[in-house]
Structure 1
């Protein structure tokens, strides 16, 4: 399991994009639409093959008759860093070793991108959403390798949860940038940017 990207959610894509750009001081790039879930995004290339996604419900798209991913149907309040996403080579094998509720594989596409992601039936990831979404890319060059560099690099991702130690034990993830801390559920990302160190929440 490898850290793939981070997602900032909001009630509108414009608000999510503005939050990222204000905090990090760099412009996001165009993304696209996710027809299956009726959402759309903007992207920001980070160092070391990572990227940052701003995502929201696309009000111009038909509403699906099933819950959207990332619990976006219930999202309220200001934009925030809401999810972290990890990739694996074999999604089915990975899910066999993860706790119940991590999701069922859904085949997705955006433009020429193809991937499978584990999405819970209710759209809500385990452990109050602190659990990572898990995907398997089905293209040789995922977005993290395609996006132009922004000059930003992730220094640390803090995954905060009352059962932080248990969450860490559940994940076959070895990444010194990801740290698990006790506390109320939240995500906090520290970046090195062209304007110095910035913190995205």
Structure 2
């Protein structure tokens, strides 16, 4: 059974992304680090022991990566959108059986597994092939080797209350999420335009909704 591991805010720069999160949620994300060879770096906001918010942006300290950056960050239309303002762009789901899921779905649907690490954290991920992710509504899958990153991030008091996905082909999206163990984790609705919707709730009662479009 998979579950939501983190939500992803895309930004032109980390500084812009951090400022956006602070304006929306009232707390600044903490320093993350670079994804060596991927061409990105991030900042993180804790949302409990099993979930967090990631701000991700192209890393000017790295050379251009050999492959496209994740979450369509190299897509011209998304780059244009992020010049105006950071925004919700994706989410990532964790599974305790990544290898089995990838073997069952095959690389054409699940993508290839890649090993990643930073400091004391290490993990494996499988990104759906580009244009197979239904506009980032089918999430990459992650399996942490040992403790999850969320346990090491200062708690902001915010929690993920609900996650929704809208798409013209809701049936196919729902099926793709179900075979990944996410049938109960994401509410899927029919809509003319693809959209990811995240509902956050603070322990003091505040609520915020983020959307990808």
2:175 alignment partner in structure 1: 169
Per the TM alignment, residue 152 of structure 1 is displaced from its structure 2 partner at its CA by: 0.4
Task: State how 1:1-201 maps to structure 2 within 5 Å.
Answer: 1-47=2-48, 49-74=50-75, 75-76=78-79, 77=81, 78-98=85-105, 100-120=108-128, 122=130, 126-138=133-145, 140-171=146-177, 172-176=181-185, 178-183=186-191, 184-193=193-202, 194=204, 196-201=206-211
CA distance, structure 2, for counterparts of residue 175 and residue 148 of structure 1: 27
Residues 64-101 of structure 1 deviation map (CA, whole Å, 9 limit, x = unaligned): 11222212111311311111101111222112333733
Equivalent pairs counted in the alignment come to 198
Per the TM alignment, residue 48 of structure 1 is displaced from its structure 2 partner at its CA by: 5.0
Unaligned runs of 5+ in 1: none
Unaligned runs of 5+ in 2: none
Q: Is the 1:156–1:191 Cα contact (8 Å) retained in structure 2?
A: yes
Per the TM alignment, residue 61 of structure 1 is displaced from its structure 2 partner at its CA by: 0.9
CA distance, structure 1, for counterparts of residue 135 and residue 123 of structure 2: 24
CA distance, structure 2, for counterparts of residue 166 and residue 150 of structure 1: 35
Per the TM alignment, residue 133 of structure 1 is displaced from its structure 2 partner at its CA by: 0.8
Residues 132-161 of structure 1 deviation map (CA, whole Å, 9 limit, x = unaligned): 1111111x2111112121010111111121
Instruction: Name whichever of 143-152 and 71-80 sits farther off.
Output: 71-80
CA distance, structure 1, for counterparts of residue 95 and residue 159 of structure 2: 22
Q: Against the structure 1 CA distance between its residues 158 and 120, is the aligned structure 2 distance closer, same or farther, given a 3 Å change threshold?
A: closer
Q: For 2:18, what is the secondary structure of its paired residue? A: helix
